[in-house]
Amino acid sequence: MPIPVIIDCDPGHDDVFALWLAAGHPALDLVAVTTVGGNVPLEHTTRNARIALSVAGVTGVPVAAGAARPLVRPLQTAEWIHGENGLGGPELPEPTVPLDPRSATELIADALTASAEPVAIIATGPITNVAILLRDRPELAGRIREIVWMGGSTERGNATPYAEFNALVDPEALDLVVRSGVRFTMVGLNVTHLALVTSGVREQIASLGTATADFGAELFDFFCRMNDEVFGMPDGPLHDPVAVAVLADPGCVEVRRTRLDVELLGIETAGATSVDLDGMLGREPNAWVAVGLDVDRFWAGVAASVARLA
């Protein structure tokens, strides 16, 4: 029985592949998409999510816009990696997928209420929308199967020396979600940096010969070029679909039960994710954290899912 999932995202090149993996994988049933300000402002992330589904021929999945900014901090964006419109590279078509008039919170609440079984939420941007839902609709927490989030790191950051971008943008939202008691899995840079878009991966996707794959190949061109310029990583790490793989193919991502705390007060360390893998602090474990990836199995799953789309 496919797992019903909601993708909350900030497209962003890698978010697009997360949407495609969720939409194309037989183990998942994508029931809703919500967007958040993150890589680029909300108007762009929302349009980009609609474009991603339109290009892939995905219909009947509502897309609603959520928070334009974090809970308490000003929005920080990442045009320096994703371009001004958030999907630098290909010429962007007009989306055929409509914008749902509900807010992200309303759409998530409706999807949770309508589902016969608990729904998983996969967040691949700043986790503001999920925090707002849990803060404003606490009675729905029991309808959430689990939350899987791409963000954080067991090691260093990518937006500051100690903070990964999604965590840095809204650490208060992350702290609220981790404390909520809903099963939470963090998929951090320590693992997503293994999901590298190598020349072999680019060939694997390009050889599919579909409209979706062709669009994805153009996204790869830009994403890899920018990762090379900014981080010296010509094989750009495709972060977000790894979070989807946790549910689509659990054997693909190794996770460990551990203690996760979020730095909120640090001047230089705000947004840092303190992952106590060795139990040094003696605190109660409160999260699952990804610690390994079967890289070939992961890319095989991405390619097979993209191949099922338009």
Catalytic positions, written as ranges? 239
Q: For ligand RIB, what does the binding mask look like between residues 226 and 265, x meaning CB under 6 A?
A: -------------xx-------------------------
Dist CA 4 CA 280 (whole Å): 36
- CA distances from residue 228 to 138, 156, 225 in whole angstroms, order as listed: 43, 18, 5
| Phi, psi of 76, deg, nearest 5 | -110, 135
Those residues with Cβ within 8 angstroms of residue 280's Cβ, 6 or more apart along the chain or in another chain:
none
Identified binder of ligand RIB from the candidate list 46, 54, 124, 185, rule CB under 6 A: 124
276 closest CA partner among 265, 287, 292: 287
Question: Per CB under 5 A, does 172 bind Ca ion?
Answer: no
Question: Per CB under 5 A, does 8 bind Ca ion?
Answer: no
Residue number, 240 or 249, with CB nearest to ligand RIB? 240
In DSSP terms, 64 is beta-bridged to: 34
Identified binder of Ca ion from the candidate list 3, 4, 10, 237, rule CB under 5 A: 10
Question: Per CB under 6 A, does 10 bind ligand RIB?
Answer: yes
Question: Per CB under 6 A, does 171 bind ligand RIB?
Answer: no
> Considering CB distances under 5 to 8 angstroms, the limit depending on partner class, which of Ca ion, ligand RIB, none binds residue 158?
ligand RIB
Residue number, 79 or 110, with CB nearest to ligand RIB? 79
Contact, 28 vs 244, CB < 8 A? yes
Dist CA 60 CA 253 (whole Å): 29
Q: Applying CB under 6 A, which residues contact ligand RIB?
A: 10, 12, 14-15, 38-39, 124-125, 150, 158, 164-166, 239-240
